[in-house]
Structure formats: C-alpha cells, structure tokens
C-alpha cells in the first residue's frame, strides 16, 4: 500500500474537510459581522467529489476525517455525507466540529450515519456574552446540542473555547469546572489573527499560560496522541480534561499528520499558510488524483510562521479551523 509522507517524514493520516463556508453564527474573531460573499452551490464541492477525494486519500492511508466549515450542519444533506464517508474502506474515524446550534436536531441521525464524535465551540457560559461574541446566537441551543450529543453517545465530547482577552478570561475557572462531573475535554485555543477579522483579534490575544496561572491544580496528562495539537491537563479526581492549543506560543508542527480540503476543493497543507492546490479538477479521475496528491504532499511546509507575526489572508470559516 502507498503511504502519504511529506519531505519531513511525517505520515499524513488525517483529512479535515470544510463542507461549506456558510454559517448560522457570526463569531467576531471568525466572520465579519456584515456577513460574507456566499459561494454559489456549484462553487462548492459536491458530495460525489468529496467522496471521490476521500476514497483516494483513504487508499493512501488516511484513516480519520473531520467535517467542519463554516458550520457543517447547515450543509444540506450532511447526514448523507457522513454515511457515504463512513462506507469508504479504510476510514475508521469520522468527527465533526460544530457550533452546536443545530446539534439537538441532528445528533441522533449523525450517530446512526456513522459519526463518532463531535467538537463543540463554546466561548462563554453566560448567555449575554455568548450572544455578544456570536452576534446573536443562543447559548441555550448549544447546551441542548451538547446534551443530545451526550445522550446519543457522540463521545468523548470536546468543547473548544477561544481565549479572548477581557472577554472570557474571567470564565476560565467556570469552564474548567465543567470537567469535574463530565467526561469533557475543554480545550482553550489561542486567538489567531486571521483573514477579515484580523483587526478585531489583534489586541485580544491571550496566551494559554493564563489558564495554567489561574488554575494551579491542573496537572499534566501524558500525551497519548502525539499528533494532537493540544497539551492535556487534569485536576486530580475530575472526570474530564483541559486541553491547551497553543498555535502562537508554541509550535506543534513536528508531529503534524493532517491536511485540509477547502469547500471549493483546494488542498491546504498547513492551516497557517495561504498556499493552496486545486484538487477539484482531478475529482473524477482517481488515478490522476492519487498522483497529484502524492506530488503535492511533498510541498508541506516544515512549520508555520505565526509566531513571527505572519497574518493569514484567508478566513477561518473558509479553512475550517
């Protein structure tokens, strides 16, 4: 079997797919409040194109797929797509990153279709603040989504919180306390200055060191999955864990095992690079597609340059996070 390896001997086993750039929310660090220029349906990869591309990646050793966006649950037919991907030989894990707003409605169907787990973004436990950062979304819907995901077994649930200075740094303790009785991983993500929202983000960055300074009882947990960007901690006796994802203050590039497919069919080898390679034009020729992927993968950069002040032009909702 052919293996997907880059020039730095990193084996690529994980593909993240942005299935839409549309979203039913407007997080201030991700989307401009006035909205975005919507892509027409034919600019977005069809399900057939996505499954063709996934099946070639699977043949090359990719085992894990994450569906993201924009908001993946606003893509019509998302449950069918999960089912189609779960039927592809070699794919043994399918996960989804969501804002949770529609999860109550879809959790059961997604589980039945073969989804394994969900990551749910939640930046505040206060309904007013949540509404403020998302420009009007409802925290109640997110909690209902989390409950439903738990009920149907889309577990372990990971909660993602982007740390924002003078916004949610006073909630760190409350967020960590969610791990006392719940088997959640709560993961703090450092804010990135990226795309059209760079101006909003640039003065609101807070290092994840803040979490360790505030919560002295956190003890490091031995990392089982070296490719995970999160370093994990736990308060002894608590059920869940606390993850710190530090794209700015510390690199995790040495063990990177992932690439990204944008909603219009471009392959991104690194989240923090503007370089993209069009795969859509080969989506119906699997032999050519395989050849191209093996060629393109050699261009994967050794590491990103975010900590050197580089600003990425593309928006997070276009890349998928």
**Contact between 318 and ligand SF4 (CB under 6 A)?**
no
Binding residues for ligand SF4, rule CB under 6 A, total 13
Which of 165, 158, 163 has the alpha carbon at shortest distance from 179? 158
**What is the CB neighbour count within 10 angstroms for residue 100?**
28
Nearer to ligand SF4, 23 or 157 (CB): 23
**Contact between 85 and ligand SAM (CB under 6 A)?**
no
CA 253 – CA 303 distance, rounded (Å): 5
Applying CB under 6 A, the span of 79-87, 128-136, 151-159, 184-192 interacting with ligand SAM comes to 184-192
CA 277 – CA 267 distance, rounded (Å): 5
Nearer to ligand SF4, 52 or 98 (CB): 98
Location of structure tokens 């436990």: 125
Which of 141, 138, 194, 129 has the alpha carbon at shortest distance from 167? 129
Residues 6 or more apart in contact with residue 241 via CB below 8 angstroms? 179, 185, 186, 221, 232, 233, 234
Nearer to ligand SAM, 168 or 179 (CB): 168
Nearer to ligand SF4, 23 or 259 (CB): 23
CA 279 – CA 282 distance, rounded (Å): 6
Q: Of these partners, ligand SF4, ligand SAM, none, which one is at the site of residue 157 (CB under 5 to 8 Å by kind)?
A: none
Binding residues for ligand SAM, rule CB under 6 A, total 21
Strand partners, 95: 66, 117
**Contact between 27 and ligand SF4 (CB under 6 A)?**
yes
Q: Of these partners, ligand SAM, ligand SF4, none, which one is at the site of residue 149 (CB under 5 to 8 Å by kind)?
A: none
Binding site residues, ligand SF4, CB under 6 A: 23, 25-27, 30-31, 69-71, 99, 121, 316-317
Binding site residues, ligand SAM, CB under 6 A: 23, 29-30, 68-69, 71, 97-99, 121, 160, 162, 189, 191-192, 194, 201, 316-317, 320-321
């Amino acid at each position: 079997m052919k293996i997907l390896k880059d020039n730095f001997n990193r084996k690529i086993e994980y593909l993240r797919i942005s299935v839409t750039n549309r979203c039913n929310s407007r997080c201030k660090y991700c989307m401009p409040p006035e909205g975005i220029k919507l892509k027409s349906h034919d600019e977005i990869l069809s399900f057939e194109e996505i499954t063709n591309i996934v099946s070639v990646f699977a043949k090359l050793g990719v085992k894990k797929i994450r569906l993201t966006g924009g908001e993946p649950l606003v893509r019509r037919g998302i449950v069918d797509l999960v089912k189609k991907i779960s039927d592809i030989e070699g794919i043994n894990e399918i996960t989804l990153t969501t804002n949770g707003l529609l999860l109550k409605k879809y959790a059961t169907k997604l589980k039945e279709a073969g989804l394994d787990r969900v990551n749910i973004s939640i930046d505040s436990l206060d309904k007013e603040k949540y509404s403020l950062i998302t420009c009007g979304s409802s925290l109640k819907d997110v909690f209902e989504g989390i409950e439903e995901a738990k009920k149907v077994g889309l577990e372990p649930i990971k909660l993602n919180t982007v740390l924002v200075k003078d916004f949610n740094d006073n909630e760190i303790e409350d967020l960590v306390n969610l791990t006392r009785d719940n088997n959640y991983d709560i993961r703090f993500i450092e804010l990135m200055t990226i795309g059209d929202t760079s101006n909003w983000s640039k003065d609101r960055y807070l290092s994840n060191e803040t979490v360790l300074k505030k919560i002295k009882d956190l003890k490091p947990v031995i990392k089982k999955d070296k490719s995970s960007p999160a370093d994990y901690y736990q308060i002894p006796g608590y059920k869940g864990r606390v993850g710190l994802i530090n794209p700015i203050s510390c690199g995790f590039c040495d063990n990177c095992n992932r690439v990204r497919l944008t909603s219009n069919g471009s392959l991104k080898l690194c989240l923090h690079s503007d370089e993209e390679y069009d795969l859509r034009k080969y989506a119906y020729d699997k032999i050519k597609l395989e050849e191209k992927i093996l060629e393109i993968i050699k261009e994967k950069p050794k590491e990103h340059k975010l900590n050197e002040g580089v600003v990425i032009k593309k928006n997070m909702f276009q890349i998928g996070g």
